[in-house]
A = this chain, B = another copy of it.
Amino acid sequence: MPTQLVKNLVGRMIPTEINGEPAIPYQGIGKYRPNGQKYAPKISTCIDYPSDGNKLVPTLKSALEKAGLKDGMTLSTHHHFRNGDLVSNLIFDIAKEMGVKNLRWFPSASFPCHEYLIKYLEDGTISHIEGSMNGQLGKYCSQGKMKKTAVLRSHGGRYQAVQDGEVKIDIAVIGASCADAFGNANGLNGPSASGLIGFALADSQYAEKVIVVTDNIVPFPCYPWQIQGNNVDYTVKIDKVGIPEKIVSGTTEVTKSPDRLLIAELTARFCEEAGLIKDGFSFQAGAGGTALSIGNFFADIMRKKGIKARFARGGSNKYLVNALEEGLIEYILDGQTFDLDGVRSMRENPNHVDTSPFTSYNYHGKGNFASMVDVVILGATEVDLNYNANVVTHSDGYLLHGIGGWQNCLFSKNVILPIPLFRDRIPVIKDEVTTICGPGELIDIIVTERGIAINPLRTDLISRMKGSKLPIKTIQQLKAEADAICGPSKKPNLSDEIVAAIKWVDGTVIDVVHRVIE
């Protein structure tokens, strides 16, 4: 447990050490300069790999044994199968069976199906999780039950941490819906198709040992090779890697809530009036009901104006795919496909391109795609009067969501948070957010059902919107309206104990999560 705290640039008290490793406090946007070299994996040699390319081993257990699984190692997995993942739980069943203890689990994200792993946190098989936690795992962490401090990173931050050697992965297990015996793998084909498996890229490049697990072995070459067999040590065929209906729901639909529809419409009208929707522009919405609606409004505007978007960033879904097929969008640059239309389109349409956290989000690269996007639509659980936003904890203090690509997307040219003014009578705009995940200077516009607030730093947008009939207000006004309806916000009941750290895109610590006193 940390012994010393320092105040970081956004005023949060940050430990100087996390799990025995030095932690660097957040220093502002573009202030922290990495020094040193990228992580350098061991040089491999073909001497150690079968010349016929057949790296199949009989079971996942034998693969983990060959990979040298032992106490204290870091094991990484990926969330391509989302809530239908059958691989991660199996790995820790095997670890338990082998009597291995104190593993650091480093998933690219976890889902409700991973609640199963709480028993292994309890019995010491897993020491802690570094990765986004949803639902029960987050609650478990919030209650201070995890033996070490959790570390949450954005998708880009995860790539950065691996690339920079901040997190050294001993064994990466990459579940794939399609692979060959050499380890070339993708997520496009097979019963557990999920689209792409780019979240495992860093792991395949930098982990000491890499295992590809599939239920669908094809003859070499498995193409596209979203994961390259040249980075893979062992391949394993198991009966079933995922539960298809939980991988791609196919049910994500635009919102039907009148309030949410209003927010979506206000967002789209704002973008149009502010001149953000123009020929060759780019946008990233997301998969929530409001975001999908915004995408549809964007499509209407593009049709009306007779213009095209040069690209849209996924997570993709049938709405985005429709727009691509209609010719409203030239490229989808996709990070994950949320439904079967997305999977099909990525498989069939050369303009539906799979991307990775490296191309899209890595802040320690020579640029990335996120900052090139004109308009990005994001969510938040809370926003404060300085536009700082929270995306991981609720106002009661519980850590219930991951960061995903959220922090990375804040680098877009225009960041819009379309959010309800209150949820369950709890106002979303606060004097102070429970957890700062993103600094306010990167957040440009808040759209609520009762008005739109523009960050005062965006004097260009403010002057462009002069005379608009849209309900432009200050964020203070919006807060006052919500408070008048809901009454003053209650502070969460938190202990001093730190249960999780929130990393910024550059590896510094922007905030911590405290134990909830129940």
Contacts and interface: CB of A to CB of B under 8 A. Distances in A.
A457 to B, nearest CB: 15
A42 interface: yes
Given A42-B37, A371-B53, A372-B220, A366 B183 contact: yes
Nearest to A55: B367
Q: Which of A40, A182, A365 has the most CB of B within 10 A?
A: A365
Contacts of A225: 359
Interface stretch (A28-36, A118-126, A376-384, A392-400): A28-36
A47 B35 contact: no
A39 B411 CA distance: 30
Interface string A203-237: 00000001000000001110101001111110000
A38 interface: yes
B46 A38 contact: no
Q: A interface, how many residues as a size bin?
A: 35 or more
A33 B40 CA distance: 17
Interface in A419-433: none
Contacts of A48: 366
Given A366-B229, A367-B182, A43 B52 contact: no
B38 A364 contact: no
A37 B47 contact: no
A344 interface: no
Q: How many copies does the complex hold?
A: 2
A55 B367 CA distance: 9
Nearest to A29: B47
A353 interface: yes
A258 interface: no
A467 interface: no
Q: Which of A35, A333, A372 has the most CB of B within 10 A?
A: A372
A22 interface: no
B364 A44 contact: yes
Contact of A350 (B37, B350, B367, B506): B350
Given A43-B163, A230-B358, A52 B221 contact: no
Contacts of A364: 43-46
Contacts of A36: 42-43
A389 to B, nearest CB: 20
A506 B46 CA distance: 9
A310 interface: yes
Given A37-B40, A42-B38, A365-B44, A52 B371 contact: yes
A234 to B, nearest CB: 10
A48 B32 CA distance: 12
A229 to B, nearest CB: 7
A135 to B, nearest CB: 32
Nearest to A49: B367
Contacts of A219: 280, 310
A335 B286 CA distance: 38
A463 interface: no
Contacts of A331: 221, 223
Nearest to A234: B366
A362 interface: yes
A41 interface: yes
A417 B437 CA distance: 63
A358 B229 CA distance: 11
A265 interface: no
Given A30-B47, A35-B43, A53-B372, 12 more contacts: A30-B46, A37-B42, A38-B43, A44-B366, A45-B506, A46-B363, A51-B372, A51-B411, A55-B367, A228-B358, A229-B359, A230-B365
Interface of A: 30, 33-53, 55, 163-164, 182-183, 210, 219-221, 223, 225, 228-233, 280, 310-311, 331, 333, 350-351, 353, 358-359, 362-369, 371-372, 411, 413, 506
8 contacts: A37-B42, A43-B364, A44-B366, A182-B372, A220-B311, A230-B359, A232-B366, A350-B350
